[in-house]
Amino acid sequence: MNYDGHEALRRDMAGLANNLCDLKTTLKVLEDTYHYRHDGLTERLAGISLRRLSVLMDEAFNIALMIDESFLEGGEKMYGIREDICRMLSEQYPAETPLNLIIWTPADIEALADGMEYSFSEHDVRAVLERMDAIPEEQRLESGVSAGLVMALIDQVKENGQRVTVPVDLLETLLITAEQALWDREWTARDRNHPVPESVMRRLADTAKVRALLKS
């Protein structure tokens, strides 16, 4: 590793990233409970504030990960094609060493992204795998690389994706169409006393962010 002499700093940065990840999970639960489209005014106002906190938390979490990743540059990696990983394992561990490996493949990540209703390219998949490789060692040992964590990385990759320029009037038209479709799905679920699908809630939050950007 390349953090000789800075073990305490590395440990503190890894702990910070881990704590922020836990806080992001807590915020997500609160957002789902007190959504900005809740029936009650008080809950809606709380939901708006929670959404703003969540956006700020995402930014803080990304910065913490970047700080921690700086300690890993030049260090050992366990991301690559099967041949490379097998070679690294054989170099680091004797043949008789018992191991327990949890493997995330591109197909696994694509399946998660599909469930989140994301269109995911090969480049996006590689970006997620690289971010997984940069997760602090302490965090991996303590909580592993769960589906929830990978979903958070998928969100980060999509949020940091390629930007395009769209005329405001066209964006407004597309936004109205998306909102109407999502509202129909939301209230159909509510009228039937069914939980609103998480994918619908997530898309509504996205449309709200676009609305806020259009007003700014």
pLDDT tens profile 114-170 = 877 777 888 888 888 888 888 777 777 676 777 788 888 888 888 776 566 788 888
Last residue of a domain, one of 29, 57, 75: 75
- pTM above the 0.75 mark? no
Domain encompassing residue 204: 168-215
Residues 155 and 93 in one domain: yes
Measured CA distances, 6 to 32, 70, 193 (Å): 39, 12, 55
pLDDT of amino acid 168? 85
CA distance 204 to 144: 30
- Res 57 pLDDT > 60: yes
CA distance 30 to 45: 13
CA distance 42 to 11: 40
Task: Residue 120: name the closest of 146, 77, 156 by CA.
Answer: 156
Residues 89 and 117 in one domain: yes
Span of 15-29, 59-73, 80-94 with lowest mean pLDDT: 59-73
Last residue of a domain, one of 163, 180, 200: 163
Contacts of 134 (CB under 8 A, 6+ apart): 65, 68, 69, 72
Residues 85 and 110 in one domain: yes
Evaluate whether 132 touches 104 at the Cβ level (below 8 Å). yes
Residues 183 and 206 in one domain: yes
Query: Tens of pLDDT along 174-206?
Result: 888 988 888 888 888 888 888 888 788 888 888
When divided into structural domains, the chain yields a total of: 3
Measured CA distances, 87 to 90, 97, 140 (Å): 5, 15, 21
Which phi and psi (to 5°) does residue 19 adopt? -65, -40
